Amino acid sequence: MSTTPEFTKLIKATKAKAKKEQRKNKKFFNRIKKKKPAGLTKAFRETNDEVFKKIDCLDCSNCCKTSLAVFENPDVVRISKHFGMPKKDFIKKYLTPHPDYDYLIKILPCPFLASDNKCSIYAIRPAGCRTYPPFRLQLSDEQLDVIYDNLGICPAANEIVERVMTKFADA
Ligand code: SF4
Ligand code: SF4
């Protein structure tokens, strides 16, 4: 199953919206990075749960198609073992080193994305995929940067940020 027509439209609109609202979003993220208002992490967590109640990622899969997944060393060890591949062969085939992470996937769409939009290594997927988008984590500046960078990729992330931004307009 590929991305549904509804989500194809939504993804396009999300990309355009993020571009149009780039300045407003940047200002908000700079503000909350400088001083995280009380209740911000809770608001992100609760809004995440509300928004994902109505979004089925299997209709979308845009992150797996357009965003380079992070593979840290423990992910590489676990997943290469699953395929019975020496770690160095797995790295050579799928990954590229990155200055901020151990590795990024080097092929898009992600080669582990199946034709039904499911992750073919779901049970052992990388930790970064497991927590994406990272609204349920304790929000560090690094996590906020990941969220900001994905506002034009993930329709759910865009909606969550929009709702939280409204709640914290005066904070
Ligand atoms: S490993 Fe799975 S969840 Fe992660 S990007 Fe690839 S298909 Fe998506
Ligand atoms: S996490 Fe976001 S971009 Fe990824 S499939 Fe779900 S809604 Fe789409």
Centroid of ligand 1 to alpha carbon of 67 (angstroms): 10
Task: Give the pLDDT of residue 1.
Answer: 61
Task: Please name which of 15, 7, 10, 30 lies closest in space to residue 153, comparing C-alpha atoms.
Answer: 15
Same domain flag for 87 and 35: no
Pocket of ligand 2 (CB under 6 A): 55, 57, 60-63, 132-133, 153-156
Same domain flag for 56 and 80: no
Q: How far apart are CA 156 and CA 55, in angstroms?
A: 7
Does 87 reside within a domain? Answer: yes
Q: How far apart are CA 17 and CA 50, in angstroms?
A: 21
Of all protein residues, the one whose alpha carbon is nearest to atom 3 of ligand 2 is: 154
Low-confidence ranges of the chain (pLDDT < 70): 1, 171
Q: Nearest ligand, CA of residue 62? A: 2
Task: Give the pLDDT of residue 137.
Answer: 86
Task: Give the pLDDT of residue 171.
Answer: 66
Note down the domain range covering 145. 5-65+132-167
Mean residue pLDDT across the chain: 95
pTM for the predicted model, two decimal places: 0.93
Does 42 reside within a domain? Answer: yes
Same domain flag for 50 and 34: yes
Phi, psi of 19 (to 5 degrees): -70, -45
* Number of domains making up the chain: 2
Same domain flag for 44 and 74: no
Rounded to whole angstroms, what are the CA distances from 4 to 8, 62, 109, 141? 6, 11, 16, 33
